[in-house]
Structure 1
Amino acid sequence: MYLDRMALTSAGIHDPLLRESYEFCRRLLVAFGDGKDVWLGSLLLPPERRPHLWAVYGFARHFDELVDGVGSAVTQRAYSEWCDVVLTDVDSGHSCEPSARALIHTLDAWDIDPASARFLVRSLLDAYLMDLRVTEYATWEDVQHHLRLLAVDPFLMFLAIMGPLSQPAGEEGAAIAQALQWTNMIRDVAEDQQLGRTYLPMEDLDRFGVSRQDLARGRMTPAIRDLVKFEVDRAHSLYERGADLPELVHPQCQGSFKASLVFYRSYLTEIERRDYDVLTAKPRISRARQAQLLLRAGVPLLRSRVHRSGIPTGVARRLSEAAGRLPTGD
């Protein structure tokens, strides 16, 4: 795609092998699961930052697919060996694996020191290793430990790309990282049951009189609706706790960051609209609604950029009018 190639050039990525590594990460996002949401969100970023977002989330998608992909039957031993190779590559600063090569370049480009880089990558890989070992979590605190490895620690790589931060964002960053991942886990309840895993805490299932077998049957009940509502409310609370985070990142990225959070939180709105049914079909945002959210978020960013460049604003005005005409429902 032309815009993607231009983003690589804007980011100063000219080496053909490195460009192909970033493109590999982008294709992973577009091809698998909900990674396309990340790619769409990257279009709202300044072009020089987009490829680095692909690298972080493309790398994560690659190793997630190694564990959970179609036909995947990876063993803990094989996966641990892959992790050891990747960490050795991170230490050396070189890799033959495309997604690791792009990630290593991104970590270097944003001045993440080697010790921190190794720690952040190790956390992410350990989270996926947990998915091969752990099938349920007793308490919310146990889930939060998994979320720290899977989302909170790796989120620091994302914040580096969106930074520099105006002040430390530990609590806000942790809340938003958990909110985003918890939203995914609520949406994926049915898929995770098929994989033999339940991320909703057992203490919550017990509170509402729901068993793992009830979730696996795929039929909504009043008890399951109450359970899902409880988890959706928890996600909303996490978003509220991290609401100030977009104000802490680089001004160039604040608008796109806010738009991304609005987009992702709209999944919770869709779950609520469906009366909390996450079992009969995975909650999704319609293409019309996606386009509306993207346009309404992107038009102010486009206007500010064309104003700085002196380009006429007719295109931005027409896009704004188109956004207003799009339907608000799904």
Structure 2
Amino acid sequence: MYLDQRALTRAGIHDPLLRESYEYCRRLLTAIGDGKDIWRGSLLLPPERRPHLWTVYGFARHVDEMSEAAIETGAGRAQFADWCTTAMADLESGHSCEPSVRALIHTLRTWDLDPTGAQAFLDAYLMDQRVTEYSTFDDLLGYLRLIAVEPFRMVVAVMGPASRPAGSEAEAVALALYLTNLIRDVAEDQRLGRTYLPLEDLDRFGVTREDLACGRMTPAVRDLVKFQVDRAHALYERGAGLPGLLHPQCRGLVTASLMFYRSYLTEIERRDYDVLSAKPRIGPAHQARMALRLGVPLVMSRARRSASGTGHTWHREGAACS
């Protein structure tokens, strides 16, 4: 908690209401599953950048949870749509009474980002309420550019590009990360009535939505999953140069994240592409090895920089909701 409060101060966030809004986003992360990994990873960033990472991912997690609840229950879809509409208007006006939106507005101002990216992200979740399948990979790409690429551009901005713009590399990495999640979640998405793998790919390998829903790991399903895994690997390769385009103090975290997520593909390959019988996970032993390989040197480097007193403090604050 002390480190988190110190990060808010180092980021120049002093207004009590705004600090609580950022803290709200941090709590959204630490309360739910994979979000804890994002918060732990943020500790490897310079303190003044951490709160902005919490906000981007905390806001995204908040929207995701509300969307899933609306889809699973069949109720509350109108309320979710109303919330998204209000959030879009707040992003446009620059003022909000919703904590996660208030913090995101401040982050967008701090890094001079256009709110249309966040609005596009909300559009993607509204699509999820009515679209349950994608005919072609190009159709899927249109969705992924809204739900994955746009928020990742915010993350890249927080990481502070150190050289040329990282547009193409950032897009490739965002697509790779999200496609990895889609491959992992095939069975779970089927239970929610959604098929993200393009129907043209299912047809190519002779797989039906019913095959995926029934959990039958046939040779055709394995070929389908292998095709998607190879596609994700190709995207990771296209984005491999991204860490080198970021601020030197942020490169290690991005490198670690890429290694971590790509290890899911390795696990899927190890399981002979079976993503239906159980959700692929990274075991504690493998996580520990990656932490030792990447985390310890990063922490030691961060400690040395902290001791030397280097770092940058941001001072811009957004208006609180009255």
Question: Do these two structures clear the TM 0.5 threshold for a shared fold by scoring above it?
Answer: yes
Query: Could you say which residue in structure 1 is the equivalent of 2:102?
Result: 101
Query: Could you say which residue in structure 1 is the equivalent of 2:64?
Result: 64
Q: Do the aligned residues in 1 keep the contact of 2:267 with 2:280 (CA within 8 Å)?
A: yes
Q: Deviations over 1:55-110 (max 9, x none)?
A: 00111111111111385435554333222211221122221111111111111111
Query: What is the distance in 2 between the residues matched to 1:300 and 1:289?
Result: 17
Q: Deviations over 1:171-195 (max 9, x none)?
A: 1111011001111111111110011
Q: Do the aligned residues in 1 keep the contact of 2:91 with 2:119 (CA within 8 Å)?
A: no
- The Cα shift of 1:26 comes to 1.7
Q: Do the aligned residues in 2 keep the contact of 1:8 with 1:14 (CA within 8 Å)?
A: yes
2:146 is the alignment partner of 1:149: yes
Q: Do the aligned residues in 1 keep the contact of 2:159 with 2:246 (CA within 8 Å)?
A: yes
Q: Percent identity between the aligned chains? A: 68
1:81-92 to 2 correspondences below 5 Å: 81-92=82-93
1:191 to 188, 191, 205: 188
Query: Could you say which residue in structure 2 is the equivalent of 1:15?
Result: 15
Q: Structure 2 length as normaliser, TM-score? A: 0.90
2:40 is the alignment partner of 1:40: yes
Q: Do the aligned residues in 1 keep the contact of 2:222 with 2:274 (CA within 8 Å)?
A: yes
Aligned residue for 1:69, secondary structure, equals helix
- The Cα shift of 1:309 comes to 5.1
1:221-232 to 2 correspondences below 5 Å: 221-232=218-229
1:1-330 to 2 correspondences below 5 Å: 1-69=1-69, 72-74=73-75, 76-112=77-113, 116-117=114-115, 119-308=116-305
Query: What is the distance in 1 between the residues matched to 2:289 and 2:8?
Result: 27
Query: What is the distance in 2 between the residues matched to 1:290 and 1:20?
Result: 32
- The Cα shift of 1:9 comes to 2.5
Q: Do the aligned residues in 2 keep the contact of 1:67 with 1:73 (CA within 8 Å)?
A: no
- The Cα shift of 1:44 comes to 1.9
Query: What is the distance in 1 between the residues matched to 2:39 and 2:216?
Result: 33
Gaps of 5+ in 2: 309-322
Query: What is the distance in 2 between the residues matched to 1:257 and 1:214?
Result: 36
State the one-letter code of the partner of 2:122: L
Q: Do the aligned residues in 2 keep the contact of 1:172 with 1:245 (CA within 8 Å)?
A: yes
Q: Structure 1 length as normaliser, TM-score? A: 0.87
Higher mean C-alpha displacement, 67-76 vs 31-40 = 67-76
Query: What is the distance in 2 between the residues matched to 1:28 and 1:310?
Result: 30
Q: Do the aligned residues in 1 keep the contact of 2:183 with 2:228 (CA within 8 Å)?
A: yes
Change (3 A) 1:67 1:307: closer
Change (3 A) 1:13 1:227: same
Query: What is the distance in 2 between the residues matched to 1:57 and 1:294?
Result: 21
State the one-letter code of the partner of 1:131: D
Higher mean C-alpha displacement, 251-260 vs 239-248 = 251-260
- The Cα shift of 1:310 comes to 5.5
Aligned residue for 2:129, secondary structure, equals helix
Q: Do the aligned residues in 2 keep the contact of 1:25 with 1:58 (CA within 8 Å)?
A: yes
Change (3 A) 1:8 1:150: same
Aligned residue for 1:266, secondary structure, equals helix
Q: Do the aligned residues in 2 keep the contact of 1:52 with 1:161 (CA within 8 Å)?
A: yes
State the one-letter code of the partner of 1:92: S
Higher mean C-alpha displacement, 193-202 vs 247-256 = 247-256
Query: Could you say which residue in structure 2 is the equivalent of 1:328?
Result: none
Query: Could you say which residue in structure 1 is the equivalent of 2:311?
Result: none
Query: What is the distance in 2 between the residues matched to 1:128 and 1:135?
Result: 12
Query: What is the distance in 1 between the residues matched to 2:103 and 2:283?
Result: 32
State the one-letter code of the partner of 1:132: Q
